[in-house]
Amino acid sequence: MDKIVPDPPRTTRDRQAFDRALSHYLQPDPASHPIFTVHQDVSFEDAIAQISELLRCAAATAESAVQGSTGENRGMACSTVHLIDMARTLADQALDCLKPH
């Protein structure tokens, strides 16, 4: 009978390289490979503006979740929308404080 999937190799030529590759993809070090980074030269105003934009996107996602929810889950989703809106209002106010009058 012919096998569709071949047997794995019995030995690995460079076991250390194999182990390094496997640990790199299966157990990455979070300190050396951050998922999200912020440029160290970002200004306060740019950071607050980006926060406001991220909160706008989060609010849209949460509002979409409200539409498909019922019962207690709907209440939690509505609370999330409310909290995001409050945070966005604060971020927008911080931006307004930076503008010259």
State yes or no: pLDDT of 10 exceeds 70. no
- Given a contact cutoff of 8 angstroms between Cβ atoms, the answer to whether 41 and 74 are in contact is no
State yes or no: pLDDT of 22 exceeds 80. no
pLDDT band at 21 (very low <50, low <70, confident <90, very high): confident
Instruction: State the virtual CA torsion across 64, 67, 73, 76 in degrees, nearest 10.
Output: 60
DSSP the chain: ---SSPPPPSS-S-HHHHHHHHHHHHS--TTTS-SS---TT--HHHHHHHHHHHHHHHHHHHHHHHHT--HHHHHHHHHHHHHHHHHHHHHHHHHHHHS--
Between 28 and 95, name the one with better pLDDT: 95
Percentage of the chain beyond pLDDT 70 is: 84
pLDDT tens sequence across 45-54 = 888 888 989 9
